Amino acid sequence: MSEGSVTEAIAVAGAGRRRRAPGNWRPLLLLVPAFVLVSLFFLAPLIDVFVRSVTDPQPGLQNYAWLVSTEANIAVVLRTFGTAIAVTAVCLLLAYPYAYLMTIVSDRTRNLMQLFIMMPLWTSILVRTLAWMVLLQDTGPINGLLAAWFGIGPVPLIRTTFGVALGMSQVLLPFMVLPLYSSMAKIDKRLLPAASNLGANPVTAFFTVYLPLSRPGIFSGGVTVFILGLGFYIIPALLGSSKETMISALIQQQISVFLMWGQGTALGVFLLLCTILILVVVSRVNKQGSLFPGVER
């Protein structure tokens, strides 16, 4: 084929692609209903919340100034983040061995373990919280057992930060187990015996081989539990007291009780920005491998 023929063929192909280019946008029209739905039910309320936070009761940043200058608000924010961190740590400590056990048992036992971890998700969170109220009250079964066996009691379990963290941990535990199991199931079971054959003791082999490989599950489960813990309302409201108020309860109080929409929406925007910031930071840390710097992904 001559050089002129090749050039002509390329020109024809390019013209054909240019003629077909408008048709390539047609599949994107399928995204229009989803975009409209998200805009109406997600973006529009967010915009309204932000606008209220800087315009109610008058234009300005006074609501955000109130947020950062009031000691009670700072205490609520610190309590919320502290409780969410504690719940995340408890869920990780409980879920990690459970998820690991799921990877080494038989299929039948694994199915039973999955059933046990999924059953709480099939029960109303309100029902579970009411059950915890019965268990943790001063005259409840737990205090009864402590008094009968150890002569202790009544121990204040309800209306405390401990009671709130306990109820949240029970609810959020499945959100930690499932990502961990998904990550651990992909790890080659021969790696730990291989590390032992090379002279590593079981503890060293676990921390240098197995734990770094389960990092994706730790990150995804930890972020999910932590972010969900920041926005909990029912459990802190029923198992806690005014001394255990968290951000969600403070938002409800400002809007429903005091009718201070500007201050309530400012708290909501602050919580949203904190969540976005956490996601960005954790994503960067996970991508760079800063949790286990000596291990390549």
Q: Tell me, what amino acid is at 118?
A: M
Q: What is the pLDDT of residues 219-259, one digit of tens each?
A: 999 999 999 998 888 888 888 887 778 898 899 889 888 88
Calpha distance 31→42 (Å, rounded): 16
Separation of alpha carbons 208 and 212, rounded Å: 7
What's the rounded Cα separation, in Å, for the pair 49 and 265?
6
The pLDDT value given to residue 226: 93
Q: d(Cα 248, Cα 230) in Å, to the nearest integer?
A: 8
Confidence check: pLDDT of 163 > 60: yes
Task: Provide the token pair at 134.
Answer: 């019965």
Averaged pLDDT for residues 131-159 = 85
Q: What is the pLDDT of residue 6?
A: 44
The span from the CA of 147 to the CA of 122, in Å, is 33
Q: How do residues 86-123 score in pLDDT, each as one tens digit?
A: 999 999 999 999 999 999 898 899 999 988 888 878 88
Stretch 195-201: mean pLDDT: 81
* Triad 136, 139, 142: Cα angle to 5°: 45
Global confidence as pTM: 0.81
pLDDT value at 84 more than 80: yes
Count of Cβ atoms closer than 10 Å to residue 85 Cβ: 16
Does the structure show a pLDDT above 80 at 286?
no
